[in-house]
Amino acid sequence: MLSMKTSVHAKDAGDYYGQDDYYLEKTGYWYGHDELMKTLRLSGDGEVEPDVFTKLLQGYHPRGGEPPIAIVENAGDDGRRGGTYFTFSAPKFVSILSFQDERIRKAFDTAVQRSLDYVESFIQVRHKRNGVVSIEKTGKAVFAVFNHATTRPPEEDETPDPQLHAHCVMANLTVDSDGQFIGTSGKNQKCR
């Protein structure tokens, strides 16, 4: 199952994964287009660090120094849409079986990555040049992925239920054909 939240506000990015340390209890990883990941100096082998994640969603270069280096026009604006949030969830019986067989977790992770590849194939930007609006398909995105095997504990002393799922945040930026960072366009961006 997939659920999607269309907007993660950049102003909330710093707090987003700090909630009850739930998201940070498991190390996340970066996933996405190789060229874009290389440009941003993110590695699929590297963990998602909270400060790097926050800078990226706020529109700053994640590995830039201080002061932060803006890579999109509205970097740091409170109203900036920092990203799009996806949660992929396996059925309960699959979640239970995943505790007995690591291959199930690997298959789930592969399914999540293939789904993200599909989403990425629809990424586009909107340009306005000389009064003419055009849409350019870039097919480049970067995601922070956090895998979990259980639900949040209902109460402090209670045991969480098995629930294999992945939280994925797609940063609101891509690179256009001119090599410029730009926010993604939500207009006409439909997965069919």
**CA nearest to 40, candidates 21, 61, 25:** 61
Instruction: Give the phi and the psi of residue 14 in degrees, each rounded to 5.
Output: -65, -30
What is the spatial distance between Cα 3 and Cα 146, in angstroms, rounded to a whole number? 15
Q: Is 174 exposed, middle or buried (0-12, 13-18, 19+ CB in 10 A)?
A: buried
User: Is 118 known to be catalytic?
Assistant: no
User: Is 31 known to be catalytic?
Assistant: no
Catalytic residue among 17, 23, 29, 31: 17
Bridge pairing between strands 124-129 and 81-89: unpaired
Catalytic residue among 16, 29, 31, 60: 16
Q: Which residues are catalytic?
A: 16-17
